[in-house]
Structure 1
Amino acid sequence: MEDLHGPDGLPLRHYRPRRQARPLMVFVHGGAFLMGDLDTHDRTCRRIADACDVEVLAVDYRRAPEHPCPAAIADVAAVLRWSRPAAVAGDSAGGYLATMACLWLRDAGDSLPAIQILICPNTDLTLSQPSVVDKGIGYALDADFLAWAITQWAPDPATRPSPLLAPDLHGMPDTLIVTAEHDALRDEGDAYAHRLTQAGVRVTHRQEPGLMHGFIQNMDLTSQEAAAAHDRLFRDIACLFSR
């Protein structure tokens, strides 16, 4: 593991599972656009690098409210341009930033990663999907907190870009989307998988039964179901890299 700096001095952390060079994945952490850093997701990045035999480059992007939309998207897009990874991945808000950065690069005519990996992603900042109501109380992600966090990230509702609502999703990378049954963001992740498929994108999609938002973050330590879901995720990632 090595801490380094990327474009404009952006803090990064590079994980290598072995001395020989391996395909590179850029990882974008979650945290409702407000929280999280290289340390909060250190174990997750280490496990992905080891289990999937890939190098992982974690991004410490700028966060709201000091740096509102689109600062973090610009940071992730800059790292993708700079590092030219095989894949970009993210959980929750990090999944949103990962796929928004891909949309930015596509629209700018830049090269894209071959793969995007989205774990319980936020794709609809309007929060209009049914699971926001059905699963937004009593589970890991509270709908009221989520709505508040989005207002910190993008105060003006008229300027809240949502991947799910993008008019055109053609040309996006091969995609793995994993959602969780008891997650307020479940339906928008599932719907995004459907829209990408309709646009001709090759998609692997699974909804994990019985799990809540954030299961990728250390829930394997206390839940056999989460541990099994981690194993499935790691196998899916490894399969994508072996294509």
Structure 2
Amino acid sequence: MSKLAESLPPRVLAGALRFAFGLPAPLRRLIAGRPITLDGQELHPEAQLLLKLQRISGEDWRTSTPAANRAALARSTRLVCGPVIGGVAVRPLDLDGVPGRFYEPTSLAAGSPLLVFYHGGGWVSGDLDSHDNLCRFLAVEAGVRVLSADYRLAPEHPFPAAADDAQTAFEWAVAHADELKADRDRIALGGDSAGGNLAAVTALHAGAVKPVFLLLFYPAVDASVRRRSRELFGNGFFLTDEKMDWFLDHYAPSREAHSDPRLSVLLAEDLGGLPPTYLATAGFDPLRDEGEAFAEKLARQGVPVVLRRHPGLFHGYANILGVGGVFREAVAEAVGALRTGLALANARQDVPETA
């Protein structure tokens, strides 16, 4: 991180970002530079502007030590997550040893659906705070209760600790649905990046009560191979090829673990039992191709799936709710898919069984 970024309070940098995004479009384009086109996609002007301002400020989320990486993610999130979203009551919970945070929209009726959410951060970074505003947004806009799980991080707790905690959190939600005023038969799982990985893995290994929907933002689903998108977008678009290796080296230092379906869920032989899924990828994301391969395998095995590529965006867009409009619009689309998926799950419950 540059001395400029270190010396200025986050609120000052956040204000500067909002000022830059409020400039007339020709000035924003001048700052961002000439359009960037790769693989037949053009980086959205707002995404390009944010990356350019990030480079100018020195906010590049370097991979030096886990502690430094966590601090950098926390700082960058404060710059772009936007003002705290209201209209939701928030309280901490203990999920059988896994710290959690519960979001309950104001005046939401009892017996409504629940979303269990796992934050991203490469299994090394991120926490309840880093994804607080995203969880608030999902709760308020989708009209659902949200339970965010703060699973253990690597390298202090390597694979499969995060997957174990994700499973524990889901099982706790099922067991305590009545206390949360939620419908235990309408629990969805969601997450971004590493959190999307944990959501898919948890759904695959669910017990008698299974999630009814998966909400996945650019999930990591296959650590066993390098796909073309890693070569195309591995440098200059927030998540880099170097960072991906660094995260995996901390979370799963054993190469054998990279082929374990509890990490590389794409390699699971049978995905046909997974629930209907909305999977969003970003065009300029090293994880793009594996996420889309996962969606294609779900479809081949009979799982209802909506795959949505946002061609002009980069990895991590779901946390960028405070600047620009295109990032928030992409998350709002996912909210619509969540609402629809949960409504359809409710309709399936209401269909009487035939003899």
Whichever residue aligns with residue 24 of structure 1, its letter is L
Q: Residue in 2 aligned with 1:151?
A: 249
Given the alignment, which residue of 291, 300, 312 partners 1:198? 300
Alignment of 1:38-187 (within 5 A): 38-84=128-174, 86-105=187-206, 109-160=207-258, 161=260, 162-187=264-289
Distance 1:158 1:149 in 2: 16
Whichever residue aligns with residue 275 of structure 2, its letter is P
Q: Residue in 2 aligned with 1:13?
A: 101
Whichever residue aligns with residue 223 of structure 1, its letter is G
- Structure 2, unaligned runs of 5 or more: 1-89, 175-183, 345-355
Q: Residue in 2 aligned with 1:212?
A: 314
Distance 2:113 2:270 in 1: 29
Q: Residue in 2 aligned with 1:4?
A: 93
Distance 1:127 1:227 in 2: 31
Taking structure 1 as the reference length, the TM-score comes to: 0.94
Runs of 4+ deviating beyond 4 Å: none
Taking structure 2 as the reference length, the TM-score comes to: 0.65
- What CA deviation, in whole Å up to 9, does each residue of 1:167-188 have, x standing for no partner? 1111111111000000000000
- What CA deviation, in whole Å up to 9, does each residue of 1:79-137 have, x standing for no partner? 111212510000000000111112222xxx53210111110100111242110111111
Distance 2:269 2:317 in 1: 30
Distance 2:328 2:146 in 1: 20
1:168 match: secondary structure = coil
Distance 1:101 1:234 in 2: 21
1:221 match: secondary structure = coil
Identity of aligned residues (%): 38
- What CA deviation, in whole Å up to 9, does each residue of 1:133-166 have, x standing for no partner? 1111110101111111101101111122211111
Q: Quick check: 161-170 or 115-124, which moved more?
A: 161-170
Distance 2:208 2:126 in 1: 28
- What CA deviation, in whole Å up to 9, does each residue of 1:190-228 have, x standing for no partner? 11000001111110110012000000002x322222122
Q: Residue in 2 aligned with 1:227?
A: 328
2:167 match: secondary structure = helix
Q: Residue in 1 aligned with 2:18?
A: none
Distance 1:103 1:147 in 2: 25
Distance 1:158 1:76 in 2: 21
Contact 2:212-2:342 within 8 A present in 1 as well: no
Contact 2:135-2:148 within 8 A present in 1 as well: yes
Distance 2:211 2:164 in 1: 16
Distance 1:179 1:207 in 2: 5
Distance 2:277 2:188 in 1: 10
Distance 1:241 1:104 in 2: 20
- Structure 1, unaligned runs of 5 or more: none
Aligned Cα root-mean-square deviation (Å) = 1.2
Distance 2:278 2:301 in 1: 15
Equivalent pairs, count: 238
Q: Quick check: 223-232 or 74-83, which moved more?
A: 223-232
1:100 match: secondary structure = helix
Contact 2:119-2:127 within 8 A present in 1 as well: yes
